[in-house]
């Protein structure tokens, strides 16, 4: 699952923004009724290192739960993530933990590294249609992030891991539940996500996809030609600005 090579446009101080690709023209916002955004490392930049805090908290949780050394706990944490989609799902399957307790612990972090983003606020306001967050995280964590960014008023709902009955992306089940619960036509929906494998079910349902790439992504293998990635960028603010501005919205 390798990201297809695309011709990137340049904006700002060397930021790459790619509202289109070599395979398809720039996205017409009028073709989209619902804009779905992943949360972590998508709506805020990975450079905030916010998810690093969550990652460390997950490791501590596994270590405390199973009386493991940190290195052993981290290895098991990553194994569960690879095999089950989230560490939480693996812990539920193998150790019958309380998922609500787990989420309250791993999301008890300092959200202040996420800075207000007035550019994203303006750009989202120029996109026509409904907007939702689709995350493997929790509602309280998503709400804290949206508040820090200054953009909660743009989103009508947060579809989180609890709403999906703790079945994470990329399992197709939460995608279907999201569409059903919020009455979304997937052929007129857009999904931005920083994990390439989570775009596969979205593409299969007919959504337009955006891959927010930052550094190495183990979910992308060496093969070129990932048809489930329609557009890609390194910064979602640049990309949304470019798309919203393309039609003078």
Of all residues in the chain, what percent carry a pLDDT higher than 70? Answer: 84
17 falls in which pLDDT band (50, 70, 90)? very low
The answer to whether the Cα torsion of 126, 22, 135, 109 is positive or negative is negative
Contact between 211 and 95 (Cβ < 8 Å): no
- DSSP 3-state of 214: coil
**Conformation bin of residue 85: beta by default, left when phi > 0, alpha when psi is -120 to 50:** left
Which DSSP helix (H) or strand (E) runs through 108?
A: none
**Conformation bin of residue 217: beta by default, left when phi > 0, alpha when psi is -120 to 50:** beta
> What pLDDT, in 10s, does the model give residues 210-243?
999 886 554 554 434 679 999 989 999 999 999 9
Of the candidates 91, 96, 86, the one whose C-alpha atom is nearest the C-alpha of residue 54 is: 86
Q: What is the mean pLDDT of the chain?
A: 86
Contact between 30 and 247 (Cβ < 8 Å): yes
The pLDDT assigned to 220 comes to 53
Q: 170 preceded by cis ω (within 30°)?
A: yes
> What pLDDT, in 10s, does the model give residues 192-213?
999 999 999 999 999 999 999 8
Rounded to the nearest 10 degrees, what angle do helices 99-106 and 50-66 cross at? 130
Instruction: Please name the residue that has the structure tokens 């992306």.
Output: 169
Distance CA 216, CA 128 (A): 32
- Strand 15-17 relative to strand 9-11, pairing: antiparallel
Q: Residues 43-58: what's their mean pLDDT?
A: 93
Of all residues in the chain, what percent carry a pLDDT higher than 90? Answer: 77
Distance CA 10, CA 26 (A): 14
Domains in the chain, ordered, with CATH? 9-46+114-246 (3.40.50.1000), 50-106 (1.10.150.450)
> What pLDDT, in 10s, does the model give residues 134-154?
999 999 999 999 999 999 999
Task: Take residue 141 and report the two structure tokens written for it.
Answer: 């964590």
Q: Residues 163-176: what's their mean pLDDT?
A: 96
Instruction: Give the distance, in angstroms, between the CA of residue 141 and the centroid of all CA atoms in the same chain.
Output: 13
pLDDT(1) > 90: no
Altogether, the residues listed in the chain come to a count of 249
Name the least confident of 23-32, 71-80, 130-139, 144-153. Answer: 23-32
Q: Residues 15-34: what's their mean pLDDT?
A: 67
> What pLDDT, in 10s, does the model give residues 86-128?
999 999 999 999 999 999 999 999 999 999 999 999 999 999 9
Distance CA 200, CA 191 (A): 11
Q: Who contacts 233 (Cβ-Cβ below 8 Å, separation ≥6)?
A: 16, 17, 18, 19, 210, 211, 212, 213, 239
Distance CA 86, CA 79 (A): 9
């Amino acid at each position: 699952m390798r990201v297809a090579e695309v011709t990137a446009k340049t904006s700002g101080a060397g930021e790459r923004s790619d509202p289109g690709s070599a395979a398809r023209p720039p996205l017409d916002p009028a073709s989209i009724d619902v804009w779905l955004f992943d949360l972590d490392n998508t709506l805020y930049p990975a450079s905030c290192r916010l998810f690093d805090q969550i990652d460390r908290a997950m490791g501590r949780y596994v270590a405390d739960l199973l009386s493991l050394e940190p290195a052993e706990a981290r290895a098991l944490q990553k194994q569960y993530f690879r095999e089950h989609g989230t560490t939480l799902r693996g812990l539920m399957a193998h150790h019958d933990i309380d998922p609500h307790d787990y989420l309250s612990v791993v999301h008890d972090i300092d959200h202040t590294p996420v800075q207000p983003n007035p550019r994203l606020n303006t750009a989202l306001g120029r996109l026509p249609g409904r907007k939702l967050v689709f995350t493997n995280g929790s509602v309280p964590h998503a709400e804290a992030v949206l508040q820090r960014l200054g953009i909660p008023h743009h989103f009508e709902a947060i579809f989180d891991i609890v709403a999906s009955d703790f079945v994470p992306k990329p399992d197709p089940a939460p995608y279907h539940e999201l569409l059903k619960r919020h009455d979304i036509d997937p052929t007129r929906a857009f999904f931005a996500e920083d994990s390439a494998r989570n775009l596969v079910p979205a593409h299969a349902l007919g959504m337009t996809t955006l891959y927010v790439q930052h550094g190495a992504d183990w979910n992308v293998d060496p093969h070129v030609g990932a048809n489930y990635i329609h557009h890609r960028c390194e910064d979602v603010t640049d990309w949304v600005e470019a798309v919203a501005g393309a039609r003078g919205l």
